[in-house]
Structure 1
Amino acid sequence: MKGETEKVRYDKLKRLAYDIDDVLDKYKTAVLKSEVERDEAQTPSTSSVSSQVPNTPISLFGGIAPRIKELNKRVEAIAKEKDYLSLAIDKSSSTDPKLERLETTSFFVEPVVYGRDHDKLDLIDRLLVSDNNRGRRSGNDTPLIAIVGMGGLGKTTLAGLVFKDKRVRKHFHKRIWVCVSDPFDEVRIAKAILESLKGEPSKFNVLHNLLEEIEEIIEEKRFLLVLDDVWTEDENKWKQLKGSLCSASRESRILVTTRKKNVATMMCCSNPILLDLLSKEDSWSLFSEAAFWGRSEEDCENLESIGREIVDKCGGLPLAIKTMANLLCSKGTEEQWQRISDSEMWELEDPEIFKDLYAPLLLSYCDLPMSVQQCFRYCAIFPKDYEIRRDELIKLWMAQGFLGETRKVNELEMMGEDCFDKLAMRGLFQEFKKDEIGGSIIECKMHDVVHDFGHFLTKTECLLVEGQRLAESFHENARHLTLIAKPDNIPIDGIKGLEKLRSFLVQYNSDAKVPKLYESMSNLIDQLISVRVLRFYSGHSVYDNYLRIPKEIGNLIHIRYLNLEGNSLRELSETLCDLCNLQTLNIRKCHTLRELPRGMGRLTKLRHLQNGSIKILMPKGVGRLTSLQTLEEIAVIRGGNRTSSDSFSLADLGKLIHLRGKLSIQWLGNVEETSEAREAQLSTKTGLRSLTLDFRGGNFKKREKKTESDALLLQALHPPPRLHTLKIEFCGWEEWEYELLLRSRGGQGHQSSSSSSSSSIAFPSIMPKLQRLSIGACSKLKTLPHHLLQSRALQELTIRESRFLFERFNKERGHDWPSISHIPQVEIKRPFNFPRYSAAEILEQEPSSSSWSGQGVWKELLLKPSKPIQRILIAAIGVNFFMQASGNDAVVYYSPKVFKDAGISDRKQQIGVSIIMGIAKTCFVFISALFLDRFGSRPLLLIGSIGMVISLGGLGFGSKYLEQCQDKPEWAIALCIVAGIVAVGTVFFYFFLPETKGKSLEEIEVLFEDKPLDGKQ
């Protein structure tokens, strides 16, 4: 479509298609909702669960007929103009299935870079040469090198090659890579630099504080900072960041990639590296590597002349050449190659198109099936350099209906994986992150030029804007909107067209806290009547502001994907359960959320419940979600507001036969009968690849029986056979024998008379694909399963907080280390408070040995303590400090004098009051001892501290009634000060002192690990 008239008519046709889809979806939703309510009426146990906002099928059906009449008129009007529309569908765009075999794994091989050897050597020389040899440093500024060139020339590729070079890695103490892009966000860049330097996110959000911390960390350090894809020419934005880097060593370097030479000049780089186009021979080498992969010599010779024509049309641009090579590797005949070479797209005159680069991308794009094309266009909603998670992208495609509809449970996900692979093979995705063992892709990015191409295709349909610019950037034709939120007020009122949005994605970081947009959440949701995808994503949970999802959420009848990850949620409205089309609900890291709505069983189309990293009560209705494929974590909870008949149980887990991916079962110690564990039917869930079994919980008085009960529980659970990862935590058994796992698999496998004989036999029927085995905080466990250790599939073994296993299997002194030494990755962490030498080794040492002095212990304890030890020291010192500072002991020691000063002059009365006070204190200590095992030390300590605050405060304010006391003001001030100290101590106890009732030393150390201590664990 070359004319403006055709474009207008095409846009009109697209709007009509969207409106028709909305009406059809509304009708299907009404039918589905009536079926759900009919089934619910037949289930007495759910009759008490009702929505707070009724949304009956009658109200849904209403208004459909008039809309259909209106749409028919629009269809007729467009039909009259059909002769003017040049909407031809190229049937050849569908990939020939016979040629699919050519789209193999050549893409995933690390690419060879052609034509950049000289540039690479020049760049490395500039990075490594000292300042004494080159006078490039003005004042205290860190020397800056810039790579300049148009998009697609390989600037980032060249910088990446140098960044990973062995000489560069050895030369610099720190290497930092930051993708800058547009706009130049100083705070984001500074935080990215700090995170790379420290290995953890910074707590600061103010630019001045961030720059101060950077300056302090890099002082006299030799670092390399790569700023990729810089666009800004504003010198003021760059100056502040540059100033914080001056404290580093003079041999530090900054490497910048940019398309604009003015940027290099602004950043004071007088001699940038200007990338040239590839030569014809380098272009041909790059092209032929991918395009001719897997072909015979005869085919290569026949296609060479046409291939060289196509390479010449790419103009020496590496990205264009690779795009065409990835396209042509799936074309097997000369006719197909010639058709691409003769395409009119090489001659496009659209001023928006950069011909040499976009023409190859257009050719590759148009060759894709139409369903894959719309999947690619949708990727324009992501910011540049965004890490796209493969699984989440597929869920988004599903929510938009790009993958069609099917009644089979996992068919849509499989179609999405196939679509992703097609785009990856065409080179439209890059920078893949893969699973460490399985090798499957889990994340990717888009080249910034490919990202620009996606925006060129979608124009105003996909918008990516910053919050404060929403009003000026929003277009009424927008269907997908990504909002990068900041603390500024985001004006939603008065913006027309929100009701047409099908995707509304809000992303904010910890510095934004909760945007003011959320204050008008009800008004916002009222406008998003067509939305399929709704995401309010926070990179970090924010506890001082809570996201409130209003009851109007139940009116979003079209929604398929709801992502609330990382937000501080108090609750989810019961009306959420009216979203009968919902496929994905993501509540990961919503740590303040305590339970799900009771009507979850009405979400019959829910396929993915992403609830990792939170402890949450789930209703029994979750067991009715038979389409569920993702359920990341469940907890066996006893007690609370819900009865066992209302809560999700292991028996309900047995009904979810389609689960796959990861599953973590927490608090298995609360399971009272092994029959309940057997009903979980884990062995039938063959789609599970990762399983975590956490045996915490149970009655403390029955802890001695835990050895036997946990072993029986594992047998009853029947771990599935196709696991790749198995994690066992806080187990109570001592021996992990072959027979134990054999019984858990129903007697499959070879029989063995003893553990010694079984160690020489492979048992392929018991988790033969297990690649990761992790044992954590199993303080009684003394053995490991020999048959699993012998498996060739096992690649990783992790043991932590398990003293017997550490003693037997550690590399330094463990006599059983040879039995696991063949495993590629073994990590055995020294248990907390475990001696560095055994008793025998200590006795063998000479008395004069330095080890007798305890120097290593004191050094580890005081000079370089681990984080758990740091937190334990803080808690221990803090408790003793506040006990002394409260004045409690002082009053006991000097009670006669205290009472004398208070006005009791008689000696006998002083002694009598002291005795009464001692008896009272003894009684309270005795009462505390009685309730210690029942309630734990933490609640009793908090109650006692609060009581002291009230008592001391009351004495301070009531001291005016002591008529015989001459120093009433001093008494009042002293008592109020002590009351304040105890109040501070109460806060300290709450946040820094976790409950340790019924926990072993290993379990206690876990409480003091890198998690924030809120005392609730």
Structure 2
Amino acid sequence: MFRERSDYYGTASSSSCKPYSVFGIHGIAGSGKSTLANYICDHEKKAEDKHFNLIMFSHVSVTFRVEKIFRDMLREITGIQSDKDIESLGKELMEKLKGRRFLLVLDDLWVKGENQKEREILLDALGAGENGSVILVTAQKEDAAKALGAREKEQMLMPDLEEEEYLSLFMHHALQGTVDDAGRFEWFGRTIAKKLQRSPIAAVAVGRRLQIEKNINFWKDTAENHDVLNDTMGALWWSYQQLCGDTRRCFQYCSVFPKGYRLKRDELVSHLDSTRVYKHHKFTIHDLLHELAERAAGSDFFRIDDLSGLPAKDILLGVRHLFVGSQNVAQAAQTVEKNLDLGNLRTLIIDETNTSTNRKQRRHDLEKTFDRLFKRLRKLRVLIIRLGSNPEELSFPGSIEQMKHLCYLVCSSLNNYDGTLILPSIFNKFYQMHAMFFYLGTSVSYPHGMGNLIRMRHIQHVFPNIGRMTSLQTMHYFSVKKEQGYELKQLKHLNKLRGHLEIFGLGNVGSKEEAFEANLASKKRVTDLELYFFDGRTKNPDIEAEVLEGLCPPKELQALTIRGYRGSRYPSWMLSGQQHPDAPKHLRRLELMHCSSPLASFPEDSELFMHLHELFIRGWEQDSFPENMQRLVSLQILDIVGCGHSKSTMMEVLPTLPQSLKKIGISQCNVLSRTCQEEGHENWQKIQHIGRRDSGAFILLNLSFFFVHDVHMHASSLCPAGHVSGGLR
């Protein structure tokens, strides 16, 4: 690491008055520069002797835009995507940097004469940081970091891997899960690896494709007959050619987005069966893969990153899928109308950076622009509009009815202003609509009859009579209300739902029979279920117990959360698996939050608990913890939060814990937290076995702060980011 350099935390490279130093990593595309930079960031975040107060990452690429870099930095600092203008962004950033030592990665930086002024604006803002700050530049050429002030000794050329190291990398990706009888796969693998010119990205791309094809003849043919692998782009092209036709088309679609664009997973691939891990993930495409996608896409796809100075002749008339990056929607619309045959356009993505604060004028401008544009997009299938700022109220014009083939609609905004999005009455006749998402920080006013859109597969908001949409696959939540169209029975025939599902307002359900009408057991692809009893509470423990009894989840459920349940008992499908063959059998995660029902002990014959890996108990309102916790023979993670409010001394004593336990977290439990740290105390003794066979064990305890007890090494370098950040807030 650069920590080993004696001058690593010295003053600036170019001038002693600057509080930062500039380091550069340069090398050919695909050599691992960005991977190394990310590794350095992760290493510094986990370091025990933290030098940096802030660690930030911004993908710059060919188009150097200081406004984007400012937004990226502020997003990493605050966790919020700012919608301010560049002057305000600069002022806010300088304020955030004052007195703080930072590490900033400028990934894939290109130097051009026309961006010199913007580089100066960036460096002036970074001058607000504390001495010892570092700018780390990754680039294909050495002059990129040099332009920011890096000296020769502060530059590093990415070295080639040694032959055996490269072979090891390649075979790691190519042989995973492959049974290599007599070493035949490795024999051909060596020949293939020699062709790849020690390109890391080629090793990963080709290796993973070979890992999928476990046919030895395929490996032999690749080794003997594909000299295209001798070139990095050729190797990527070969890997692309091995994809099926539908997947190749999806890959081509990625070319419409700019390099370095942060893609939301669900904008490319809708929810699959297992969604928890990737639910909110964003991705960027490697520049070489982006170039490959552009080559494969041909003339059907076109992208306008900057409207200024764009010759009309550069836009091909046959374009079907278009991305426009612009200061404002009106400007983008004018360019599209002027230079394209809108009647043939199938996809239109407008990415706006307008940050206007005049919300009334903003509404007028947007509605006028939408009205004019929608009239001409008669064959459009996909419309994605990202607004820099949204008005107090926005109505989609009636001219949207011209887009009768529209099947995918997204409208989002950088900010979260309160407001209302109003859809016209004609919207309930968009029978081809498959997916619809509005991320505007607003409420949405839907017309009556939205339940008629029976081809809908993915929605964000819920409206009356959703039970008619039997093709639904993704619905993040459903709220039970005492209104027509919001009854729990609306879920009865939605058996194609998959992934994550939250059900609110279960306090409005009056009986076991009513709960049974939800038919949850038939939703076989729902893997993560959350049940909320807070809203519309019946205040009758027996009724809540009957309702939960009737909400038997599907057999393949992996994660279950029950919140606010105050029933008199737990359901039989949870406690007696043998009596319920269709109840969950392989539940891996269970969270009980603010539940008062007496789960006195864990049953011996319940398969639901036997495979449990994670148990979260939050706001426990009982006089003691469940007994016989040692029966949870597969439990690896136990998290106890806010269970110190009971006056019972039984809540101050941990139960006997299973030997399988690897990690335990305790917070907001004053006595329990303290005694777990007192050597020799009963609670201290009960946690000593945790992680003895696993160096990744950690314990989080909370008095007025978090105390970290680690069996073998520092916990900050081991615990999952979500667990730690969630606890520390």
When normalised by structure 1's length, the TM-score is 0.56
CA-to-aligned-CA distance 1:824-844 (integer Å, 9 cap, x gap): 56556539x999999xxxxxx
Distance 1:565 1:695, change over 3 A: farther
**Could you tell me how far 1:460 is from its partner in structure 2?**
3.4
> Share of identical aligned residues, percent?
24
1:165 maps to 2:3: no
Specify whether residues 775 and 495 from structure 1 end up closer, same or farther in structure 2 by C-alpha distance, changes over 3 A only.
farther
Q: How many aligned positions are there?
A: 644
Match of 2:254 among 373, 376, 379: 379
Judged with a 3 Å threshold, the aligned counterparts in structure 2 of structure 1 residues 462 and 784 are, in CA distance, closer, same or farther, namely farther
Q: Give the structure 1 partner of residue 4 of structure 2.
A: 125
CA shift for structure 1 position 203: 5.2
The corresponding residue for 1:263 is: 144
Which shifted more, 488-497 or 628-637? 488-497
Question: Does structure 1 residue 687 correspond to structure 2 residue 525?
Answer: yes
Matches within 5 A, 1:144-543: 144-165=22-43, 169=47, 170-173=49-52, 174-198=54-78, 200-201=79-80, 205-233=84-112, 234-271=115-152, 272-278=155-161, 280-291=163-174, 294=178, 295-300=180-185, 302-303=187-188, 307-308=190-191, 310-329=192-211, 330=213, 332-333=215-216, 337-338=220-221, 341-343=224-226, 345=228, 356-395=231-270, 435=276, 444-466=283-305, 468-469=307-308, 472=312, 474-487=315-328, 489-490=331-332, 491=334, 492-508=336-352, 511=355, 516=365, 519-537=368-386
Q: Any conservation in 1 of the 2:510–2:543 contact (CA below 8 Å)? A: no
The answer on 1:656 being equivalent to 2:494 is yes
Residue matched to 2:459:
609
Q: How far 1:194 moved relative to its partner?
A: 2.5
In the alignment, the residues of structure 2 paired with residue 654 and residue 164 of structure 1 have an alpha-carbon distance, to the nearest angstrom, of: 46
CA–CA distance in structure 2, aligned partners of residues 248 and 582 of structure 1: 50
Instruction: State how far apart, in whole Å, the 1-side matches of 2:654 and 2:672 are.
Output: 19
Equivalent pair of 2:195/2:227 in contact (CA under 8 Å): no
1:619 to 434, 451, 464: 464
Listed one character per residue, the Cα deviations across residues 916-941 of structure 1 (whole Å, up to 9, x for unaligned) are xxxxxxxxxxxxxxxxxxxxxxxxxx
Q: 1:706 to 1:239 in 2, by over 3 A?
A: farther
* Alpha-carbon offset, residue 767 of structure 1: 6.7
Distance across 2 between alignment mates of 1:787 and 1:552: 65
Change (3 A) 1:459 1:216: same
- The answer to whether the 8 A contact 2:367-2:397 is kept is no
The AA in structure 2 aligned to 1:228 is D
C-alpha contact (below 8 Å) 1:737/1:785 kept by paired residues: no
Deviation at 1:255, TM superposition (A): 0.5
Q: What is the distance in 2 between the residues matched to 1:331 and 1:719?
A: 38
Residues 814 and 686 (structure 1 numbering): CA distance in 2 closer, same or farther, change over 3 Å? farther
Per the TM alignment, residue 517 of structure 1 is displaced from its structure 2 partner at its CA by: 5.4
Return the index of the structure with the highest Cα Rg. 1
Using the alignment, how far apart are the partners of 2:638 and 2:248 within structure 1? 43
Judging changes above 3 Å, is the alpha-carbon distance between structure 1 residues 210 and 388 closer, same or farther for their aligned structure 2 residues? closer
Q: Are the aligned partners of 2:610 and 2:631 in contact in 1 as well (CA < 8 Å)?
A: no
1:727-742, aligned counterparts within 5 Å? 727-733=561-567, 736-737=569-570, 741-742=574-575
Match of 2:449 in 1: 599
Q: Is the 8 A contact 1:623 1:648 kept in 2?
A: no
Name the CA shift for 1:784/1:523 in 2 (closer, same or farther; >3 Å). Answer: farther
The offset of 1:238, in angstroms, is 1.3
Deviations 1:330-386 (A, max 9, x none): 36446754566544747xxxxxxxx83221122222233333222221221233334
How far off its partner does 1:775 sit?
6.0
Q: Aligned ranges for residues 876-895 of structure 1 at < 5 Å?
A: none
Inter-partner Cα distance in structure 2 for 1:464 and 1:503: 11
**AA at the equivalent of 2:491:** L
The amino acid that maps onto 1:463 is F
The change in CA–CA distance for 1:314 and 1:523 in structure 2 (over 3 A counts) is same
Q: 2:137 touches 2:144 (CA, 8 Å); kept in 1?
A: no
Query: Does the 8 A contact of 1:607 with 1:627 survive in 2?
Result: yes
Letter in structure 1 aligned against 2:70: A
Aligned to 2:423: 572
**Alignment partners' CA distance in 1, 2:73 and 2:66:** 11
Of stretches 720-729 and 577-586 in structure 1, the one that deviates more from structure 2 is 720-729
Query: What SS does the corresponding residue of 1:208 show, helix, strand or coil?
Result: helix
Equivalent residues in 2 for 1:14-53, closer than 5 Å: none
Label 1:830 to 1:484 Cα distance change in 2 as closer, same or farther (>3 A).
farther
1:299 shift after superposition? 1.0
Q: For the Cα contact (< 8 Å) 1:727–1:774, is it kept in 2?
A: no
Secondary structure of the structure 2 residue equivalent to 1:722: coil
Instruction: Give the deviation of 1:237 after TM superposition.
Output: 0.8
Offset at residue 543 of structure 1 (A): 5.8
Question: SS in structure 2 opposite 1:244?
Answer: helix
CA distance, structure 1, for counterparts of residue 8 and residue 569 of structure 2: 58
In structure 2, relative to structure 1, the CA distance for the partners of 1:836 and 1:788 (3 Å cut) is closer
2:20 to 142, 166, 170: 142
The answer on whether the counterparts of 1:723 and 1:770 sit within 8 Å (CA) in structure 2 is: no
Over residues 861-880 of structure 1, what are the superposed CA-to-partner deviations in whole Å (9 max), with x where a residue is unaligned?
xxx9xxxxxxxxxxxxxxxx
Q: Distance in 2 between matches of 1:743 and 1:322?
A: 47
Change (3 A) 1:246 1:335: closer
Structure 1 Cα separation of the partners of residues 442 and 659 of structure 2: 39
Q: CA deviation at 1:650?
A: 0.7
User: Does the Cα contact within 8 Å between 2:624 and 2:648 map onto a contact in 1?
Assistant: no
The equivalences for 1:754-769 within 5 A come to: 759=602, 761-764=604-607, 766=608
Q: Deviations over 1:446-505 (max 9, x none)?
A: 211111111122243222323635774643222112233434733243232222222212
State the shift of 1:227 in Å.
Answer: 0.9
Distance 1:335 1:799 in 2: 52
* Whole-angstrom CA distance in 2 between matches of 1:784 and 1:552: 61
Q: Aligned AA for 1:269? A: A
Query: What per-residue deviation string (whole Å, max 9, x for no partner) do you get for residues 283-315 of structure 1?
Result: 4444344345532444157426xx44x545433
Letter in 2 for 1:361: L
Aligned partners of 1:730 and 1:776 also within 8 Å: no
Please name the residue that 1:709 is paired with.
543
Judged with a 3 Å threshold, the aligned counterparts in structure 2 of structure 1 residues 530 and 782 are, in CA distance, closer, same or farther, namely farther
RMSD: 4.4
Secondary structure of the residue that 1:683 maps to in structure 2?
helix
Which amino acid is the alignment partner of residue 718 of structure 1? C
Q: 1:239 to 1:256 in 2, by over 3 A?
A: same
Distance 1:442 1:671 in 2: 34
> 1:783 offset after TM fit, Å?
6.3
Closer/same/farther in 2, CA of residues 215 and 652 from structure 1, 3 Å limit:
closer
What one-letter code is carried by the residue in structure 1 that aligns with 2:325? Answer: I
| Aligned residue runs from structure 1 range 76-95, under 5 A | none
Find the aligned partners of 1:300 and 1:746 in 2 and give their Cα distance: 49
Distance 1:758 1:280, change over 3 A: closer
Output the amino acid matched with 2:506.
L
Distance 2:134 2:40 in 1: 13
In the alignment, is the contact (CA less than 8 A) between 1:728 and 1:776 conserved in 2? no
